[in-house]
Amino acid sequence: MKPVAKGVDIMAEQISNENAELIGRPVIENIIDAHVNADYDRLVELIPGMKGQLSTEEFNEAVSKLSPMGKVVSIEYIGHLNKVKEHLLLWKVSYDLGEEEILWHLYLSDT
């Protein structure tokens, strides 16, 4: 298995219900932090291939929608779904000024 993001090595371990949160948490926290800090360069550094899939305009639009919600106060792991050769991890994120929670999802690949 290759690293899912810069600085996050899964080694040879397969993602499972038992370890999905442990593997995914540093990845999603860094992704959310990049959005909170409007740091597109950090996001594309963290996730190989993101630069060609998410334009700066799309990123800035997402940032502008999140910024009125304030600071992140909690990131709660909801669960893990097995897909063919990948895994979908779900996270409930609460913000100090937001009236509702946001569902973030993270895809991790077995390859």
Residue 28, domain CATH: 3.10.450.590
Q: For residue 75, what are the domain limits?
A: 20-109
Q: Which of the four pLDDT bands, split at 50, 70 and 90, describes residue 36?
A: very high
Q: Please tell me the distance from the alpha carbon of residue 15 to that of residue 102, in angstroms, as a whole number.
A: 24
Q: Residue 12 pLDDT > 50, yes or no?
A: no
In a domain, 6, yes or no: no
User: Number of structural domains, the chain?
Assistant: 1
In a domain, 4, yes or no: no
The reply to whether the predicted model has a pTM over 0.95 is: no
Burial profile 31-69: b = 16 or more Cβ within 10 angstroms, e = fewer: bbebbbeeebebbbbbbeebeeeeeeeebeeebeebeeb
9 vs 85: which has the higher pLDDT: 85
Q: Residue 2 pLDDT > 50, yes or no?
A: no
